[in-house]
Structure 1
Amino acid sequence: MRIIQMNRRSLLSAALAVPAATALLGALPARAEMDIGRASSFIEATGRELVATLNSNQPIAVRRQKVADILRQAVDVDGVGRFILGRWWRVATPAEQQEYMQLFEETLIRNLSARFGEYQGVTFSLGRSQQRTEDDALVNTVIQRPSLAPFSLDWRVGEVGGQPRVVDVIAEGTSLRLTQRSEYSAVISRNGGKVAPLLDAMRQQIAALAAREGR
């Protein structure tokens, strides 16, 4: 097992109070076969980039932006948004589709960033990898935080556009992308099949996250 050290205070820890389902990930079909070794190396390399950024002496705002950039490169953001909105994508107007993707990306990146945070003395442990299907592999990680219970994340990695990308996260046995898809669909269904109320809820969530992070 490989251990990666993180040594920063967490200015994003409050965001962890948001239900884990808000970090859901997904992807569209038609991906190429994913090799276990490549998936594991990809997650390790991504972790090392995050560690280097969090351990740097750069201003907090700069570190946050770099962490966001790393995650945008690692995650199939377009596939995430389209999968989670599901059948409601066709209901949304072009303007709503565009705004949804913008709001979704910001929500996703903020919540993923919060999972790594800027805790002092956090360790990111790379565990077992296993072939899930021909299309993707699971890479297990355990994140340990001082004075807090460690939590396990299984990163589902697929081949997207010829590159490995995170397409789902399994948190303590629960597929986050499937949970988020259900939650988003429920919001739209409760509002007469309209996407606009979901967009309002997403704006409010982003505002709350920004307030907790002090920006």
Structure 2
Amino acid sequence: MLETMIARRSILASLGAAGTALVAARAFPASAQAVDTARAAAFIQATGQELVAAINGRAPVAQRREQVAAVLRRAVDVDGVGRFILGRYYRQATPAEQQQYMRLFEETLIRNLSARFGEYQGVRFSLGRAQQRTEDDTLVNTVIERPNSAPFSLDWRVGEVGGQPRVVDVIAEGTSLRLTTRSEYSAVISRNGGRVSALLEAMQNQVAQLAAREGR
């Protein structure tokens, strides 16, 4: 659900052994380069408007989820996100595991976020301040309003990837989702003897669970 994006506990559920639910998040890819504040703000403004239009549309929930998913695929550097989150384990994984991980990561990310965004209506989005924080990214503040709920602030880190602005992290109440996700993915692997395959199994289970819920 949309409020989980700003909850103090973050949108990430705790990851346990294989089969525990995963909730994907955005991360900061090492390949990102600086993007000026005006361009970053315009990018987030356009992305937010697209998301709100899809969320508030009159289409059935399943169709709205697909529309949201399309926006997210354009907005997020999924490849850079996935590589950063897996960290050193990406280099340790076999080529087959790397390929499987990236496929599962994108599917998990898009299914989770599109399902949550796509279930809401009556959402409003406004742009706040944009400021360059490091040599690699610009932070853009947004305010999200929902019916019968207090407005909340969500910060988006934007970097330039392949010549285009992309979302590389989300900051919810001061918590970086990229770092939280990396830590939780690493914990799953560490608790299972350093096996990347344990994380892949958990991700496969999560994708199956999401698909089953969407099919209800």
Which bin holds the TM-score, normalised by the shorter protein? 0.7 to 0.9
Equivalent residue number for residue 103 of structure 1:
104
CA distance in 1, matches of 2:61, 2:118: 11
**Shift in alpha-carbon separation, 1:120–1:53, aligned structure 2, 3 A:** closer
Mapped contact 1:84–1:177 kept (Cα < 8 A) = yes
Q: Structure 1: any 5+ residue segments left out of the alignment?
A: 1-11
How many equivalent residue pairs?
Answer: 204
Mapped contact 2:56–2:120 kept (Cα < 8 A) = no
CA distance in 1, matches of 2:3, 2:201: 22
Equivalent residue number for residue 88 of structure 2:
87
1:182 equivalent to 2:173? Answer no
CA distance in 1, matches of 2:25, 2:181: 6
CA distance in 1, matches of 2:68, 2:116: 11
Secondary structure in 2 aligned to 1:148? coil
Secondary structure in 1 aligned to 2:189? helix
Counterpart amino acid of residue 20 in structure 1 = I
Q: Which moved more, 1:105-114 or 1:174-183?
A: 105-114
CA distance in 2, matches of 1:124, 1:113: 17
Indicate the percent of aligned positions where both proteins have the same amino acid: 71
Q: Which moved more, 1:16-25 or 1:61-70?
A: 16-25
Deviation at 1:15, TM superposition (A): 8.2
Q: Which moved more, 1:130-139 or 1:37-46?
A: 130-139
Deviation at 1:131, TM superposition (A): 1.0
Counterpart amino acid of residue 39 in structure 2 = R
> Which runs of at least 4 in structure 1 moved beyond 4 Å after TM superposition?
12-19
Higher-strand-fraction structure: 1
Alignment RMSD (CA, Å): 2.4
Counterpart amino acid of residue 196 in structure 1 = S
Mapped contact 2:139–2:156 kept (Cα < 8 A) = yes
Mapped contact 2:24–2:105 kept (Cα < 8 A) = no
Deviation at 1:151, TM superposition (A): 3.1
